[in-house]
């Protein structure tokens, strides 16, 4: 799929260039962002543990937006050493001051971390993502992309408080050879069953960023090429996810926390089976000033040894204790270091990461 | 002779200081940041919450038209005062917030101008554009109108 998608890059670039001039001169507003990041990862493992000792990542994420009256267009393309993918392509229609409907490929609203950071690595304090928020192609076990329809709206409460709600209906990923594979707009062979996602958030200041909320997702994940799943006679997984989260700032402190319950109904040829697990994390951050931020994350997942569903993703880091330091410098650039101890279903090991990230212009 | 020149010089300097000090004091006392629109703009009033919403990328409309906020970065003190007193954010937090709005919602960041002439041209190009500047800058410009005082030095 990766190779297939790469063939479309020149076409996508040409399409963007073709539309850019008329769009820019049509009286609307547009913006362009280029997120760059990269750096080495060191795994403290022996050669027998199945992981490379060292790894290098380099990533470029291009975002283009266009706004004209009620109409909105958003496209995001991500290119890295490991992948090349049209992440988002959304057409929006603003029905009211606080309501917008989207069609296209988007990040599901039931994954708060991704709806805040998407692929904009510079904006997230940490280098790594929590296990439960990982993208499908990076070891994620929950859907993060969908193609269909999404509605976002907000309601004012007493004073400055507000509620935000988002609902989407679209395609679910399939359980592919090594990972979940979401529907790919640039690949006509791509397929997927249905997914419904929802986020409801309370904001004490509707213009601020502090919030707490509930996330609900239902997805039907068909098996398509996963050998272990096929050996088990697994045909599909009907997955229900419920989560509560918070993202709160107090002066120089910030706290990101999430608790997710996942129930998988494993549809096999002979019989159905229910499988469930919990996953949670707490990530405190402290801004020292002068660009320095200290942060850490504790995350844990239950039933990792007994979940048939998690067994399909043996390389995913389900547990982690991490400490990191970030230095923001110049204009929109940062250097971050992370040291952690993590565990997959079979292994546990130390990890050290160093990353430069930036956004232009 | 040298002494005379010296005394005279001191006198002149003192007189200048005496003359300049009240002027500087008056200038500082009158230092104000104002919200301005094009003289022909149909916009007549705007409260603080609406201004904050405009500069945070939220939709604020008049007569069915979106109001756009233009960022004036021609003077860093002015920009800092505006961000702290109106948007209630530091420059760094504000930049991150705008990036986040663009990434999340596809809302383009406000246009930024570090040159007052280009800012004035942009303001005059759309009657639903608003911006902020020192009051004395607004007083010097033709075709712009002060909508309200955003900040005043005490």
Ordered structural domains, chain A, with CATH: 2-360 (2.40.160.10)
Q: Which residues of A touch B97 (CB under 8 A)?
A: 209
Structure tokens at A239: 């997955």
Question: CA dist A94 to A69, A173, A271, B154, Å?
Answer: 8, 28, 46, 42
In a shared domain, residues B47 and B74: yes
Between chain A and chain B, the number of residue pairs with CB atoms below 8 A apart is: 61
Residue to test with chain B: of A25, A26, A29, A115, most B Cβ within 10 A: A29
**Residue A314: C-alpha distances to residues A90, A179, A299 (Å):** 33, 10, 17
Exposure string of A163-188, with b = 16+ CB inside 10 Å and e = fewer, is bbbbbbebbbbbbbeebbbbbbbbee
**Highest mean pLDDT pick, B4-18, B28-42, B43-57:** B43-57
Distance from CA of B139 to the nearest CA of A (A): 29
Question: B6 falls in which pLDDT band (50, 70, 90)?
Answer: low
Are B43 and B77 in the same domain? yes
Q: Are B99 and A332 in contact (CB < 8 Å)?
A: yes
Q: What is the pLDDT of residue B81?
A: 93
Are residues B40 and B87 part of one domain? yes
Q: What is the pLDDT of residues A10-64, one digit of tens each?
A: 455 555 555 555 555 556 789 999 999 999 988 876 655 556 677 888 999 999 9
Are B60 and B13 in the same domain?
no
Taking the C-alpha atoms of residue B87 and residue A326, their distance in angstroms, rounded to an integer, is: 26
Please write the tens of the pLDDT for every residue from B98-111.
999 999 999 999 99
Report whether A35 contacts A119 (CB < 8 A).
Answer: yes
Q: Which two tokens stand for residue A355?
A: 């990353």
> Which tens digit of pLDDT belongs to each residue from A146-173?
999 999 999 988 888 999 999 999 999 9
3-state secondary structure at position A288: strand
List all residues 6 or more positions away from A360 whose beta carbon is below 8 Å from its beta carbon.
Answer: A33, A34, A36, A332
Query: Could you report how far apart the first and last alpha carbons of chain B are, in Å?
Result: 47
DSSP β-ladder status, B68-69 and B129-134: parallel
Query: Which residue, A168, A136, A155, A163, is CA-closest to A315?
Result: A136
Task: Please tell me which residue, A283 or B27, carries the higher pLDDT value.
Answer: A283
Cα–Cα dist A124/B100, whole Å: 10
The C-alpha R_g of chain B, in whole angstroms, comes to 20
**CATH number of B143's domain:** 3.40.190.10
In this predicted structure, what is the pLDDT of residue A293?
A: 96
Q: Residues B24, B38: one domain?
A: no
Contacts of B52 in chain A (CB under 8 A): 207
Cβ-contact A106, A116 below 8 angstroms:
no
pLDDT average, residue stretch A206-217: 94
Task: Show Cβ contacts of residue A342 under 8 Å, excluding neighbours closer than 6 positions.
Answer: A317, A319, A320, A321, A322, A348, A349, A350, A351
Total number of domains in chain B: 2
Shared domain for B48 and B120, answered yes or no, is: yes
Tens-digit pLDDT profile for residues A302-349:
988 888 899 998 888 899 999 999 999 988 999 999 999 999 888 888
- The reply to whether B11 and B45 lie within a common domain is no
Asked whether residue B38 falls in the same domain as residue B11, the answer is no
Does one domain contain both B76 and B102? yes
| Phi-psi category of residue B64: left, alpha or beta, with phi > 0 → left and psi -120 to 50 → alpha | left
Widest CA span of chain A, in angstroms?
61
The pLDDT of residue A18: 52
Contacts of A359 in chain B (CB under 8 A): 99
Give me the mean pLDDT over the A179-191 stretch: 83
- Residue that wins the pLDDT comparison between B20 and A196: A196
Q: CB distance A120–B66 less than 8 Å?
A: no
Predicted model pTM: 0.84
What pLDDT does A1 receive?
39
Which H helix or E strand runs over B76? Answer: helix B76-82
**Chain A residue numbers touching B54 (CB-CB < 8 A):** none
Residues B91 and B128 in one domain: yes
Q: Considering CB atoms only, which of A67, A97, A116 is closest to B106?
A: A67
CB contact under 8 A, B102 and A332: no
Report the chain A residue with the minimal C-alpha distance to residue B54: A207
Given a contact cutoff of 8 angstroms between Cβ atoms, the answer to whether A288 and A252 are in contact is yes
Q: Are residues B93 and B145 in the same domain?
A: yes
Residue A139 near residue A313, CB atoms below 8 Å: yes
Question: Which residues on A lie below 8 Å from B100 (Cβ)?
Answer: 116, 120, 123, 209
**Residue A143's closest CA among A106, A168, A173?**
A173
* Chain-chain contact of B103 with A67 (C-beta, under 8 angstroms): no
d(CA A136, CA A114): 12
Ranges A33-47, A187-201, B116-130, most confident? B116-130
Query: Which stretch of DSSP H or E encloses residue B23?
Result: helix B2-29
Contact between chains at B59 and A98 (C-beta distance less than 8 A): yes
Could you tell me if B97 lies within 8 Å of chain A, comparing CB atoms? yes
- At A32 the pLDDT is 92
For residue B60, give the chain A residue with the closest CA.
Answer: A97
Relative to beta strand B61-62, strand A71-80 is: unpaired
What is the extent of the structural domain holding B8?
A: 1-30
Distance CA A333, CA A37 (A): 10
Q: Do residues B125 and B85 share a domain?
A: yes
Calculate mean pLDDT across residues A198-222.
Answer: 95
* CA of B66 vs chain A CAs: smallest distance (Å): 8
Confidence of residue A184 (pLDDT cuts 50, 70, 90): confident
> Please, which residues have CB within 8 angstroms of residue B80's CB and are 6 or more apart in sequence?
B91
Q: Would you say B129 and B37 are in contact if contact means Cβ atoms under 8 Å apart?
A: yes
CA distance B95 to chain A (A): 8
Q: Give the C-alpha separation, A23 to A36, whole Å.
A: 25
Pairing of strands A348-360, A29-44: antiparallel
> B8 vs A93, which has greater pLDDT?
A93
Q: Which of A355, A356, A358 is nearest to A42 (CA)?
A: A355
For testing contact with chain B, the best of A30, A31, A122 (most B CBs within 10 A): A31
Cβ atoms of B129 and B68 closer than 8 Å: yes
Output the six-digit token pair for A198. Answer: 């929802």
**Is residue A232 over pLDDT 90?**
no
Which of A200-204, A333-337, A342-346, B47-51 shows the lowest mean pLDDT across its residues?
A342-346
């Amino acid at each position: 799929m990766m190779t297939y998608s790469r063939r479309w890059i020149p076409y996508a670039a040409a399409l963007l260039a073709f539309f850019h001039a008329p769009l820019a001169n049509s009286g609307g507003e547009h913006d362009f962002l280029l997120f760059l990041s990269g750096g080495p990862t060191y795994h403290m493992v022996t050669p027998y543990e199945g992981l490379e000792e060292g790894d290098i990542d380099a990533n470029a994420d291009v975002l283009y937006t266009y706004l004209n009256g009620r109409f909105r267009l958003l496209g995001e393309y991500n290119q890295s050493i490991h992948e090349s993918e049209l992440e988002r392509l959304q057409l929006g229609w603003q029905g009211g001051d606080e309501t917008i409907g989207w069609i296209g490929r988007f990040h599901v609203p039931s994954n708060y971390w991704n709806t805040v950071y998407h692929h904009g690595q510079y904006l997230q304090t940490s280098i790594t993502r929590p296990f439960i928020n990982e993208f499908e192609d990076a070891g994620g076990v929950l859907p993060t992309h969908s193609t269909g329809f999404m509605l976002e709206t907000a309601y004012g409460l007493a004073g400055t408080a507000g509620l935000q709600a988002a609902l989407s209906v679209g395609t679910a990923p399939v359980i592919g050879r090594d990972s979940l594979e979401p529907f790919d707009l640039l690949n006509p062979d791509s397929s997927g069953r249905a997914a419904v996602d929802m986020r409801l958030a309370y904001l004490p200041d509707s213009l601020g960023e502090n919030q707490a909320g509930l996330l609900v997702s239902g997805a039907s994940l068909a098996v398509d090429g996963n050998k272990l799943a096929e050996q088990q006679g697994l045909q599909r997984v009907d997955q229900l996810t419920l989560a509560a989260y918070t993202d709160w700032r107090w002066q120089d402190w910030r706290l990101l926390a999430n608790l997710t319950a996942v129930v998988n109904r494993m549809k096999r040829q002979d019989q159905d089976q229910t499988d469930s697990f919990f996953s949670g994390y707490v990530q405190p951050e402290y801004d020292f000033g002068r660009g320095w931020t200290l942060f850490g994350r504790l995350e844990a997942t239950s039933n990792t040894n007994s979940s048939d569903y998690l067994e399909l993703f043996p390389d995913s880091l389900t547990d982690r204790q991490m400490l990191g330091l970030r230095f923001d410098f110049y204009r929109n650039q940062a250097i971050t270091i992370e040291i952690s101890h993590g565990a997959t279903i079979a292994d546990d090991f130390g990890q050290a990461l160093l990353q430069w990230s930036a956004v232009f212009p | 002779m040298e002494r005379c020149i010296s005394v005279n010089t001191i006198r002149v300097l003192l007189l200048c200081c005496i003359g300049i000090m009240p002027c500087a004091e008056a200038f500082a006392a009158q230092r104000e940041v104002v919200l301005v629109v094009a003289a022909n703009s149909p916009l007549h009033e705007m409260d603080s919450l609406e201004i904050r919403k405009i500069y945070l990328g939220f939709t604020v409309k008049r007569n069915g038209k979106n109001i756009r906020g233009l960022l004036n970065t021609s003077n860093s003190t002015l920009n800092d005062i505006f961000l702290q007193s109106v948007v209630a954010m530091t420059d760094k937090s504000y930049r991150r917030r705008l990036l986040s709005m663009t990434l999340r919602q596809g809302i383009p960041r406000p246009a930024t101008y570090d040159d007052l002439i280009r800012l004035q041209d942009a303001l005059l190009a759309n009657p639903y554009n608003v911006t902020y500047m020192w009051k004395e800058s607004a007083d010097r410009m033709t075709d712009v109108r002060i909508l309200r005082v955003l900040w005043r030095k005490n």
